[in-house]
Chains A and B, each alone.
Chain A
Amino acid sequence: MSKREEIIRVDHITKRYDENAVLDDFSLSVHEGEVVVIVGPSGCGKSTILRIMNGLEPIQKGEVTYRGEKVDGKLGSITRIREKVGMVFQSYELFPHKTILQNIMLASILVQKRDRREVKEEALQLLARVGLSEKKDAYPRQLSGGQKQRVAIVRALAMHPEVLLFDEVTAALDPEMVREVLDVLLSLAKEGKTMVIVTHEMSFAKAVADRVIFLDGGHMEEEGTASEFFDHPKTERAKQFLHTFTYDKVERE
């Protein structure tokens, strides 16, 4: 893994909201073809890391780089970096005034100035891949949550990103729709896409991750391979955290 090229580097960053440190001296590097999963209790700063990687959130200390180039929401280079760093949000955020196909094509045409016909052809292929071809002319409000989220993933893919950031993409979904979205992520992982995933779905995390980061209180508490972390967590905090996902059998007297 270490031989592969480093794509994103998060170097000793500190992020504060008012006086509260959300992230404290946090570092992470993401290499090509790697799937990094970030887990941790609510409010531990997981989503903030992804937003910082995409320059959506300013930081107070440290530096984030994409292939050696500084990631900063205030710099003009940020749009070029964001083209390469795709992001999918918890609340899908499709554009409600555009059809599904337009949602997918818009940025490729406006930002990358690619040929409309070529973009459309590719968008249709991507839609077919996630089983939503027949929805191409529908509007977002006519789709279920799971369908919207699959479209949001396709919309990010249409930009040909080098790395994809997934911010709790199943957290807003009904349980029966979680699977259809996670299956898309699994197939992307199989293709060798570089991904950083924040999730609460532990069995999915175990299946998809090359590396798991356990975050608590703005610190990286533990880092390891999926089996290391889930089967033999080293720290007490991680054990406690993982325990919240299991239930003991109720013993009746």
Chain B
Amino acid sequence: MQNLGIDVLFKGTNMMRLLGGLWVSLRISLIAVLFSILLGVPLGILMSRKSRIIRAITRLYLEIVRIMPQMVLLFIVFFGTTRVFGWNLDAEVASVIVFSFWGCAEMSDLVRGALISIPKHQYESAKALGMNSLTVFVFIILPQTIRRLLPLSINLVTRMIKTTSLVMMIGVVEVLKVGQQIIEANRTSSPNAAFGVYGTVLLLYFIGCWPISMLSKYLEKKWNNV
């Protein structure tokens, strides 16, 4: 049988280092998700308002984020701004900033979409029962919005976790970079390590994302038609 190069992982602390790398990836994406929710939800609520100025500004922001490749954003923030503004930015902080910038845009668009998908009559029938605007929003609109939003935003989270593989380009030592280092270090003793190590990295991403994706499927089914 071919040597798949998995044996490298059991040398020394290699496996622990790889898991440590996975934690860096998850940490960046989870902190970014947290910021995306904290900033994206209010922004999405704002975007569902009718004001033309707010809509124009948010539209522009959204388009910029959508059009720019995340890697270019990472380069601008990490290499560009540090040089121009002369500040000292940690690569991981830069990653969190870029991922939050991206996640916040996507999240706000999801929130806006979910909010405007609630029929106007839901507001009216609640108001007709004597509820004030706050009660209508908290008890009628928000619960329905969250039900529509959750499966979509979970999908965003898995996309963010996957995309963290880019941050190695600005020097963050995350799971993929650790894998690369292990392969480099064992080039002569295990020339086949690339397959085993990258395969394991793939598996680790899968282990990180799959439960989240399953949760999304489950919620979607549970809240069907709501």
- Does A associate with B in a complex? yes
Interface residues of A (CB under 8 A from B): 54, 56, 79-80, 82-83, 85-87, 89, 91, 93-97, 106-107, 110-112, 139, 141, 152, 155-156, 159
Pick out which of these stretches binds chain A: B85-93, B125-133, B177-185. Answer: B125-133
Q: Does B211 contact A (CB under 8 A)?
A: no
Partner of B130, one of A95, A96, A159: A159
Partner of B125, one of A80, A93, A159: A93
Q: Are B135 and A56 in contact (CB under 8 A)?
A: no
* Distance A79 CA – B144 CA, assembled complex (angstroms): 22
Question: Known: A56-B124, A106-B139. Is A97-B129 also a contact (CB below 8 A)?
Answer: no
Q: Are B131 and A95 in contact (CB under 8 A)?
A: no
Q: Are A91 and B121 in contact (CB under 8 A)?
A: yes
Contacts of A56 in B (CB 8 A): 124, 127-128
Contacts of A82 in B (CB 8 A): 127-130
Interface residues of B (CB under 8 A from A): 119, 121-122, 124-132, 135, 139-140, 143-144, 147, 225-226
Q: Are A155 and B129 in contact (CB under 8 A)?
A: yes
A40 CB to nearest B CB, Å: 22
* Distance A79 CA – B135 CA, assembled complex (angstroms): 11
Q: Are B122 and A93 in contact (CB under 8 A)?
A: yes
Kindly list 13 other residue pairs between chains A and B, CB separation below 8 angstroms, not including A91-B119, A95-B126, A156-B129: A82-B129, A83-B129, A83-B130, A87-B125, A87-B128, A93-B122, A93-B125, A97-B144, A107-B126, A107-B131, A110-B135, A139-B226, A156-B128
* Distance A159 CA – B131 CA, assembled complex (angstroms): 11
Partner of B132, one of A79, A86, A97, A152: A79
**Number of residue pairs spanning A and B whose beta carbons lie under 8 angstroms apart:** 67
21 A-B residue pairings within 8 Å (CB atoms): A54-B128, A56-B124, A56-B127, A79-B131, A82-B127, A82-B128, A82-B129, A86-B129, A89-B121, A96-B144, A97-B144, A106-B139, A107-B126, A107-B131, A111-B135, A139-B226, A141-B225, A155-B129, A156-B128, A156-B129, A159-B129
Contacts of A86 in B (CB 8 A): 128-129
A101 CB to nearest B CB, Å: 15
Identify which of B122, B124, B129, B144 gathers the most chain A CB atoms within 10 Å of its CB: B129
Partner of A107, one of B122, B124, B129: B129
7 smallest CB-CB distances across A and B, nearest first, come from A83-B130, A107-B129, A93-B125, A87-B128, A82-B130, A111-B130, A93-B121
* Distance A80 CA – B129 CA, assembled complex (angstroms): 9
* Distance A139 CA – B225 CA, assembled complex (angstroms): 10
Closest to A76 in B: B132
* Distance A93 CA – B125 CA, assembled complex (angstroms): 6
* Distance A93 CA – B128 CA, assembled complex (angstroms): 11
Closest to B128 in A: A87
Contacts of A97 in B (CB 8 A): 143-144, 147, 226
Closest to B121 in A: A93
Contacts of B125 in A (CB 8 A): 87, 89, 93-95, 152
* Distance A59 CA – B125 CA, assembled complex (angstroms): 20
Contacts of A93 in B (CB 8 A): 119, 121-122, 124-125
Q: Are A96 and B129 in contact (CB under 8 A)?
A: no
Q: Are B135 and A89 in contact (CB under 8 A)?
A: no
* Distance A72 CA – B136 CA, assembled complex (angstroms): 18
Contacts of A85 in B (CB 8 A): 128
* Distance A83 CA – B225 CA, assembled complex (angstroms): 29
* Distance A85 CA – B127 CA, assembled complex (angstroms): 11
Contacts of B139 in A (CB 8 A): 106, 110
Contacts of B225 in A (CB 8 A): 96, 141
Closest to A83 in B: B130
